[in-house]
Amino acid sequence: MARSARHRPTPAEITNTLYGDPHRLDRDHDLGRTAARLLAAATATATADQAASAADTALTADQWRHVWAEHGISCDGVSSTVLILNLSLTGKAPAARIAGAAAEHGEPVWLTSRSLRADWALAPGLTVVRACENPTVAETAADRLGTACLPLVCIYGRPSSAAWTLLRGLAAAGVQLRVTADRDTAGRGFLTEMLALPGATEWLPDADGLYEEARLEALIADLTPTSRATTDPVVRLRERPATP
């Protein structure tokens, strides 16, 4: 079968060709684990400590995919996903068309790491994006607000490689990320990781509730366009009445 020019080999294809065994580079195989650690260390060439740290984290699910992708090898790009609502994207990446079509209907949609491979950017005029942990927030926002809902990203638990690709891309573009999660031990860990992104701030830190579902009404209110006058400084300036 002819392959697309966009085709990237998978670890399974490589080892099947070399050894007749498609599983030699699996994450639970010694060869796969050693190869990933070496690739991660080779990429982090700044200092020996950074190389060692990269090798130590290379075997986590998200870093595993990232390490192989940095070397042009696709490692299960369809199972790593991130949920979005009304996040309009532009560019050549399939994610841009998928996101645009879903936003026209105010419908939450899952993007995969594969769909975010090519170039993409946030649609012009969008400067603030909110991010939550639980799909309940996205589904409720879609039910109540539909196409009027402000842009939302849902990481669905620990951020996947797809979520990190999206969030890091938004942060690099100068987007103001407002992030929240459950306030249990795991959720606080996710929140701390997201707050390390450039320009990220906590979303509604004063709202009461251990879990996002307990803060649902406050979150939905802040996703309502009429709430932007009090929550988005940029929009507040734009909506200020002109001086007579």
Q: What is the pLDDT of residues 148-177, one digit of tens each?
A: 999 999 999 889 889 999 999 999 999 999
Ramachandran assignment for 110, one of left (phi > 0), alpha (psi -120 to 50 degrees), beta (any other): beta
Of 78-87, 104-113, 136-145, 213-222, give the lowest mean pLDDT range: 78-87
| 61-70 helix and 161-172 helix, angle to the nearest 10 degrees | 60
Of 32-46, 48-62, 81-95, 131-145, give the lowest mean pLDDT range: 48-62
Q: Helical H runs in 94-134?
A: 94-104
Q: How far apart are CA 197 and CA 155, in angstroms?
A: 14
Q: Is the model's pLDDT at 231 over the cut of 60?
A: no
Residues of the chain with CATH 3.40.1360: 81-235
Query: What pLDDT, on the 0 to 100 scale, is given for residue 30?
Result: 78
The pLDDT tens digits for 59-96 are 666 666 666 666 666 666 677 899 999 999 999 999 99
Q: Is the model's pLDDT at 191 over the cut of 80?
A: yes
Question: Please, what is the end-to-end C-alpha distance for the chain in angstroms?
Answer: 69
- Give 14's pLDDT tier (boundaries 50, 70, 90): confident
Q: Is the model's pLDDT at 218 over the cut of 90?
A: yes
Looking at residue 6, its amino acid is R
Query: CA dihedral defined by 234, 235, 241, 243, rounded to 10 degrees?
Result: 20
Query: What pLDDT, on the 0 to 100 scale, is given for residue 240?
Result: 35
Fold of 81-235: Dna Topoisomerase Vi A Subunit; Chain: A, domain 2 (3.40.1360)
